[in-house]
Amino acid sequence: MAFKSAYLQGVYDTVCKRNPNEPEFLQAVREVLESLEPVVEKRPDLVKAGVIDRMVEPERLIQFRVPWVDDTGAVRVNRGFRVQFNSAIGPYKGGLRFHPSVCASVIKFLGFEQTFKNSLTGLPMGGGKGGSDFDPKGKSEGEIMRFCQSFMTELMKHIGPDTDVPAGDMGVGSREIGYMYGQFHRLSNTNSCVLTGKRISSGGSLTRTEATGYGLLYFVEEMLKTIKNDSVKGKTIVVSGSGNVAIYAVEKAQELGGKVVAMYDSNGYIYDKDGIKLDVVKQIKEVERGRIKEYAERVPGAEYHEGCKGIWGIKCDIALPCATQNEIDAESAQKLVDNGVMAVAEGANMPSTPEAIEIFQKNGVLFGPAKASNAGGVAVSGLEMSQNSMRYSWTFEEVDAKLKEIMVNIFHNSYNASKEFGDEGNLVMGANIAGFMKVADAMMWQGVAY
List residues binding ligand NDP (CB under 6 A): 168-171, 212, 241-246, 264-267, 308, 322-324, 347-349, 374, 377
Choose between 11 and 93: whose C-beta lies nearer to ligand NDP.
93
Burial of 287 (0-12, 13-18, 19+ CB in 10 A): exposed
Residue 273 falls in the annotated catalytic set: no
How many other C-beta atoms can be found within 10 angstroms of the C-beta atom of residue 357?
Answer: 21
Given 93, 108, 117, 129, the catalytic residue: 129
Which residues fall within 8 angstroms of residue 76, CB to CB, at 6 or more apart?
67, 68, 69, 70
Q: Is the Cβ of residue 246 or residue 359 nearer to ligand NDP in the bound state?
A: 246
Q: Between residues 96 and 155, which has the closer beta carbon with respect to ligand NDP?
A: 96
Q: In the bound complex, what is the minimum distance in angstroms from residue 372's beta carbon to ligand NDP?
A: 11
CB of 281 to ligand NDP, least distance (A): 10
- Which residue has the closest beta carbon to ligand NDP? 243
Letter string b/e over residues 82-94, b meaning 16 or more CB atoms within 10 A of that residue's CB: bbbbbbbbbbbbb
CA distances from 80 to 143, 324, 378 (A): 16, 20, 21
Backbone φ, ψ for residue 91 (5° rounding): -60, 150
Give CA–CA dist 440/236, Å, rounded: 40
| Nearest partner of 94 among 430, 377, 432, judged by Cα | 377
Q: Is the distance from CB of 135 to CB of 104 less than 8 angstroms?
A: no
Report the C-alpha gap between 256 and 425 in whole angstroms. Answer: 23
Q: Where are the alpha helices (DSSP H) in 69-207?
A: 104-120, 141-155, 174-188
Nearer to ligand NDP, 90 or 241 (CB): 241
Q: What backbone torsions phi and psi does residue 182 show, to the nearest 5 degrees?
A: -60, -45
Alpha-carbon span 409 to 218, nearest angstrom: 10
Instruction: Note whether 289 and 266 are within 8 A (CB).
Output: no
CB of 173 to ligand NDP, least distance (A): 6
Question: Whole-number minimum distance, CB 240 to ligand NDP, in Å?
Answer: 7
Residue 340 Cβ vs ligand NDP, minimum distance, rounded to whole Å:
24
Min dist CB 422 to ligand NDP, Å, is 29
Pick the closest to residue 441 from 104, 46, 71, 33 (CA basis): 46
Q: Report in angstroms how near the CB of residue 250 gets to ligand NDP at its nearest.
A: 12
- Nearest to ligand NDP of 119, 212 (CB atom): 212
Buried b (16+ CB within 10 A) or exposed e, 375-405: bbbbbbbbbbbebbeeeeebeeeebbebbbe
Closest CB to ligand NDP among 324 and 353? 324
Active-site residues: which are they? 129
